[in-house]
Structure formats: structure tokens, C-alpha cells
């Protein structure tokens, strides 16, 4: 038998193994998805005492799932773990209660579409909205996540005192270009702790910077600043 033939056989055998593993992976993914209905029921039980129209998205939980898997993997890069599980989570979330992305992209629509897909999965419908306000109104219903490009206007300044809407995430474009905020009807305690967003008055921003906090303004309107706040672990003290 020629070497080419032997290799072809070896490849066939390995591909059979891959096919079997793929089938097992698929069964596990479907088992994971089977939990969606029970999770949705438990959340809607909770929402009787809370906000019935709140999103079922739980950003803090998603971040902790992805972080944990990142510590467990031996060879899969963090970015791949995040991409694979973001997609699984998107399927799960849509199975719990379908939502859409209300997108307002004034400057970089193509980039915003890609960022929306990378963050919220490929199955969530994207509806283009004519203005930031229209996207925010849609988010207020709890049936959509508003994804609004930061650039023109100060639509974000009203989020400072908004009782219903929270900044879920910031999708930061390279070099600060083409960045967007994801905004949704969500209680702030559902948000991740490592990075948060806030609208701060100039004096408040200066005070926090003075205390050495990792606060970075990404947009300014009058005396208001839209800021990213990173929680940085304190440097350990050098031994005396």
C-alpha cells in the first residue's frame, strides 16, 4: 500500500472519531439548552416581586461562566472560549424569551453589526432604529437590548438618572473609534463587577481620578462625562 493510501485511511479513522465527538458535543449543547425553560420559569417567578419586564440576560453570570472556563481550559484561547460560550448563551437566552437588538449606528453601521454579533450571538435579530431615543424606547419595553454608537449627540447623559435602563456593556472600538453602549432594562445588581459604565459630573470624575480610581471618560457633553470604570486589583505591597 502506498503512503498516500495509509495516510488517507488514518485521516478517515480520525475523522470518524471527530464525527463521534461532534455528536457528543451536540448532545451536550442540547442538554444545556434543555435547562432554558426551567431557568426562564424560575426567573419569571422572581419577577412577580420584581420587574416583570426586565431582560432575562444576566451579564454577571455570563462573565463568571466565561472566566471560570478560561481558568479550566488547557489549550483553548480565552477569545475562543468567549466566542463559543457567547453563542451558546445567546441560544439559551432566545429560548427563554426572544429579544432583539435595537441598533442605532450613526457612523460605522457595518462595524456595529459585527460587534453586536460578537457580543450577543448570531441568532438575535438586529433591527435598525432611526435615532438613539427610538432604540432606548425599544429597550424600555424589555423586549430589546439597545445598541447605540457613541459619537454624535449626548443621548447617554439621560442614563444617569434613568430608573429602568442600565448600561449593560460597552463595546469599545479600536482606538476608541466605533464604540457603542449596550443598554437594557436591567437592575444594576445583575451587571458584572469588573467593568462598569457611569455618567459622572466633572467634579465627581476629578475626585475619583484623584483617589487613583481607574475611571476613563470616553465621551463628554457639557459637564457630564460618560466613563468606563475598571475595577483593578490593588498592587500587593512589597514585603518590608
Ligand X SMILES: C=C(O[C@@H]1C=C(C(=O)O)C=C[C@H]1O)C(=O)O
Q: Which residues form the interface with ligand X (CB under 6 A)?
A: 39, 56-58, 61-62, 65, 88-89, 92-93
Q: Which is nearer to ligand X, 190 or 208 (CB)?
A: 190
Q: Which residue is nearest to ligand X (CB)?
A: 92
Q: Which is nearer to ligand X, 85 or 133 (CB)?
A: 85
**C-alpha cell, 219:** 465621551
CB atoms inside a 10 Å sphere around CB 30: 10
Could you tell me which residues are beta bridge partners of residue 182? 147, 169
Helices 78-96 and 36-46, packing angle to 10 deg: 70
Q: How far is the CB of 95 from ligand X (least distance, A)?
A: 9
Q: How far is the CB of 199 from ligand X (least distance, A)?
A: 25
Q: Which is nearer to ligand X, 62 or 149 (CB)?
A: 62
Q: How far is the CB of 238 from ligand X (least distance, A)?
A: 40
Q: Which is nearer to ligand X, 88 or 216 (CB)?
A: 88
Q: How far is the CB of 204 from ligand X (least distance, A)?
A: 31
- Distance set, CA 150 to CA 61, 107, 177, 225, 232 (Å): 26, 9, 9, 12, 24
CA atoms lying within 13 Å on the CB side of residue 178: 12
Q: How far is the CB of 51 from ligand X (least distance, A)?
A: 15
**Which DSSP symbol is given to 163?**
S
**C-alpha cell, 63:** 462573565
Q: Which is nearer to ligand X, 56 or 135 (CB)?
A: 56
Q: Which is nearer to ligand X, 43 or 140 (CB)?
A: 43
Total number of residues shown for the chain:
240
CA pair distance 165, 167, nearest whole angstrom: 7
CA pair distance 70, 73, nearest whole angstrom: 6
Q: Are strands 224-230 and 214-221 parallel, antiparallel or unpaired?
A: antiparallel
CA pair distance 205, 160, nearest whole angstrom: 14
Q: How far is the CB of 86 from ligand X (least distance, A)?
A: 9
Amino acid at each position: 500500500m502506498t503512503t498516500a493510501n495509509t495516510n488517507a485511511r488514518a485521516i478517515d479513522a480520525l475523522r470518524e472519531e471527530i464525527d463521534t465527538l461532534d455528536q457528543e458535543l451536540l448532545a451536550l449543547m442540547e442538554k444545556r439548552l434543555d435547562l432554558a425553560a426551567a431557568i426562564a420559569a424560575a426567573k419569571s417567578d422572581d419577577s412577580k416581586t420584581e420587574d416583570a419586564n426586565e431582560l432575562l440576560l444576566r451579564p454577571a453570570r455570563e462573565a463568571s461562566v466565561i472566566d471560570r472556563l478560561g481558568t479550566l481550559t488547557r489549550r483553548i484561547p480565552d477569545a475562543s472560549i468567549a466566542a463559543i460560550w457567547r453563542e451558546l448563551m445567546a441560544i439559551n437566552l432566545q429560548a427563554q424569551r426572544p429579544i432583539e437588538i435595537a441598533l442605532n449606528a450613526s457612523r460605522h453601521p457595518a462595524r456595529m453589526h459585527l460587534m453586536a454579533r460578537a457580543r450577543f450571538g448570531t441568532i438575535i435579530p438586529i433591527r435598525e432604529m432611526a435615532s438613539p431615543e427610538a432604540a432606548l424606547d425599544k429597550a424600555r419595553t424589555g423586549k430589546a437590548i439597545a445598541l447605540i454608537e457613541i459619537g454624535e449627540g449626548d443621548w447617554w447623559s439621560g442614563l444617569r438618572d434613568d430608573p429602568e435602563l442600565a448600561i449593560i456593556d460597552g463595546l469599545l472600538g479600536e482606538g476608541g473609534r466605533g464604540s457603542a453602549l449596550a443598554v437594557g432594562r436591567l437592575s444594576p445588581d445583575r451587571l458584572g463587577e469588573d467593568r462598569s459604565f457611569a455618567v459622572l459630573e466633572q467634579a465627581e470624575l476629578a475626585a475619583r481620578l484623584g483617589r487613583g480610581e481607574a475611571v476613563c471618560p470616553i465621551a463628554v457633553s457639557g459637564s457630564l462625562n460618560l466613563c468606563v470604570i475598571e475595577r483593578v486589583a490593588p498592587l500587593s505591597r512589597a514585603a518590608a
